[in-house]
Amino acid sequence: MIDILREWRKVLMAALPKFDLKSPRKGKITMKINRTLLQVTLLTISALFLSSNAIAQDDSDAQPSIFLVVTNYVVVPDDGSMEELLEMLAENREATENNPKVLSRVFLRHYFTGDSREFVTITEYESLAAMEEAFEITQELIEARWPDEDERDARDSKIGTYISRHSDGIFSNLQ
């Protein structure tokens, strides 16, 4: 890597001219560019450029993570409360947190405005296939936590009364 940077420096420095500038007020002035400052600047830029390419090449086999972003818009029904919703969501999170196919997960709530209806969940997976497997594992974990199907359905319906609408999208890392 150092050898490459030295070669870049030689090429760049060979291309740098010396300038003769004429000033209308002071006559002819011969100026040399501060070559040391320019060398350091060019060397730094070259190093950053080359090192980022080297890193990108090292990671060329790595696949980007997949992120599922779900935004729910909450409306508290007359017979419910925000505390009840938060409790049910915490129970769901606890029941599904040991899914081995989930790399990371974060739960966010809209903050610092008069409209705080948005609840966002961002879940990271290794791949689309891992995301599909995670869905199956999540269903198994929920069924293990609430084995009675009628109870599960009633619970899902109750949570559904708090959601006025939702949006979702699948994203990947920029490379």
Q: Is 46 in the same domain as 122?
A: no
What domain range includes position 52? 2-58
Question: What is the domain-level CATH number for residue 146?
Answer: 3.30.70.100
Has residue 83 got a pLDDT over 80? yes
Per residue in 148-171, pLDDT (tens digit) is 999 999 999 999 999 999 999 999
Residues near 19 by beta carbon (within 8 Å), at least 6 away in sequence: 31, 33
Q: Is 48 in the same domain as 80?
A: no
pLDDT confidence of residue 16: 42
Per residue in 9-40, pLDDT (tens digit) is 454 444 444 444 444 444 443 333 334 434 44
Q: Is 86 in the same domain as 163?
A: yes
Residues near 141 by beta carbon (within 8 Å), at least 6 away in sequence: 95, 96, 98, 99
Q: Is 93 in the same domain as 148?
A: yes
Quote the number of domains for the chain. 2
Residues near 65 by beta carbon (within 8 Å), at least 6 away in sequence: 103, 124, 125, 126, 172, 173
Of the residues 41, 58, 75, the one at which a domain ends: 58
Per residue in 25-80, pLDDT (tens digit) is 444 433 333 344 344 444 444 544 444 444 444 555 678 899 999 999 999 999 99
Q: Is 33 in the same domain as 119?
A: no
Do 168 and 68 meet the contact criterion of CB atoms below 8 Å apart? yes
Per residue in 92-130, pLDDT (tens digit) is 999 999 999 999 999 998 887 777 789 999 999 999 999
Q: Is 34 in the same domain as 74?
A: no
Neighbours of 144 (CB within 10 A): 9
Q: Is 115 in the same domain as 82?
A: yes
Of the residues 58, 77, 102, the one at which a domain ends: 58
Do 71 and 171 meet the contact criterion of CB atoms below 8 Å apart? no
pLDDT confidence of residue 59: 52
Q: Classify 129 as helix, strand or coil.
A: helix
- H or E segment to which residue 164 belongs: strand 163-172
| Cα distance between residue 107 and residue 123, in whole Å | 9
Task: Answer yes or no: pTM beyond 0.85.
Answer: no
Of the residues 39, 58, 77, the one at which a domain ends: 58
Q: Classify 142 as helix, strand or coil.
A: helix
Q: Is 47 in the same domain as 70?
A: no
